[in-house]
Amino acid sequence: MAEHPPEVSYGLRAQTAFMDALTDTFDLIHQAFFEELVQPFLMAIGWGGYLEPAFEGSMWMLFGIGQILVLLLVLGPLQRWRPVEAVADTATVRTDVVYTLIHRLGLFKLGMFFLLEPFMDALMGQMSVWGWVPPQLDNIWPGVTDKALISFFLYLLVFDLVHYGIHRAQHQIGWWWKLHALHHAQRQMTMWSDNRNHLLDDVLTSALLAVCAQLIGLPPGQFVALVVLTQLSESLQHANLRLDFGRWGERLWVSPRFHRLHHSIGDGHETVQAGSGRVVLGGHNFGVLLPWWDMLFGTANFRPGYGPTGVRDQVERGRHYGDGFWSQQWLGLQRLRNRA
């Protein structure tokens, strides 16, 4: 095997040492947080039998606290610096904050653990019986898993492509759109709007992504890093921020301007059929992290500007999507049953 040049080997060792130091520091903080706060609380309320899932949940909570700090200290000032529009309906924004806290602080993740973990364990156990071995990158490209950044980028590509396919399906499958429409019904989009989803929509999306992670052998550490990176990027994309990444940057990473067009009334969630002129479900700019898939599959729209956001039937038919968390969830179920 060819040896790395001394400067390359030194760079790889330095990178590994830095990542190990970060991991060790987080592990110490996580351990202290769990032992000093979470574990005593669970024992006090008689939930000592749930220490294992709570340990994982406390990890997600710490990551969530870090993300919320980024929102407050970085994205908040950016929104005030270059807003697309003045936020008049602060009540809807407060509801979006509730969604963000549920998701970023691990409450949804904890619920998914109890709902899906037994099913996932049974599925992977059965696949082992059938002889299925997840196609780790090292089996395809020997040695790549030793190169952390390269393997992370390859997993990011696969994961983002699957996420693009899921997002496009949310817009093109009628019953799924009835749930996903809640996400698009926010007329005052801000950095808190990313997690504004119907819970059934979230359960289905999370289950598909979890299965994808298992099937491609995504290591747990890289899965966590992908989730955190995706969530922070999506918070930026939804921000009330007049920002684009320039001619080339717009084609490298999804920007607030690129994603705002996806939320714009009509253009974002509908497509006009050539010839007939009929409006059907569809839209543009489904990319979650990378706009490459939109460019590859013909769904990219780089038109400049920052139009109003929302769903067409809010304007044309006065459809109401709910003011608070529970009314939004209930109306989503009613839409699914074709009664609202």
- Whether 73 maps to a domain, the answer reads yes
pLDDT of residue 1: 45
CA 274 – CA 298 distance, rounded (Å): 14
Question: How many domains does the chain contain in total?
Answer: 1
pLDDT at 112: 67
Whether residue 178 is contained in a domain is answered as yes
Q: What is the pTM of this model?
A: 0.87
Residue 10 inside a domain? The answer is: no
Domain presence at residue 8: no
Hey, which residues does 281 pair with through a beta bridge? 270
Q: What pLDDT is attached to residue 140? A: 67
Q: What is the pLDDT along the chain (340 residues), one digit of tens a residue?
A: 445 555 555 555 665 666 667 778 888 998 998 899 989 988 998 888 888 878 878 888 899 999 999 999 999 999 999 999 999 999 999 999 999 999 998 777 766 666 666 776 777 777 778 877 666 666 666 666 556 677 788 889 999 999 999 999 999 999 999 999 999 999 999 999 999 999 999 999 988 888 888 778 788 778 888 989 999 999 999 999 999 999 999 999 999 999 999 999 977 787 766 666 566 778 899 999 999 999 999 999 999 999 999 998 898 888 999 999 999 999 999 999 886 5
pLDDT at residue number 47: 83
pLDDT, position 58: 87
Short-list 340, 336, 330, 324, CA closest to 97: 324
19 in any annotated domain:
no
Single-letter amino acid code for the residue at 162? V
Whether residue 3 is contained in a domain is answered as: no
**Chain-centroid distance, C-alpha 60:** 14
For residue 4, is it within any domain?
no
**Cα-based distances in Å from 36 to 29, 47, 58:** 10, 16, 12
Per-residue HEC secondary structure of the chain comes to CCCCCHHHHHHHHHHHHHHHHHHHHHHHHHHHHHHHHHHHHHHHCCCHHHHHHHHHHHHHHHHHHHHHHHHHHHHHHHHHHCCCCCCCCHHHHHHHHHHHHHHHCCHHHHHHHHHHHHHHHHHHHHHHHCCCCCCCHHHHCCCHHHCHHHHHHHHHHHHHHHHHHHHHHHHHCHHHHHHHHHHHCCCCCCCCHHHCCCHHHHHHHHHHHHHHHHHCCCCHHHHHHHHHHHHHHHHHHHCCCCCCCHHHHCCCCCCHHHHHHHHECCCCCEEECCCCCCEEECCCCCCCCCCHHHHHHCCCCCCCCCCCECCHHHHHCCCCCCCCHHHHHHHHHHHHCCCC
What's residue 121's pLDDT?
72
106 within domain boundaries = yes
Q: Which range of residues forms the domain containing residue 109? A: 24-336
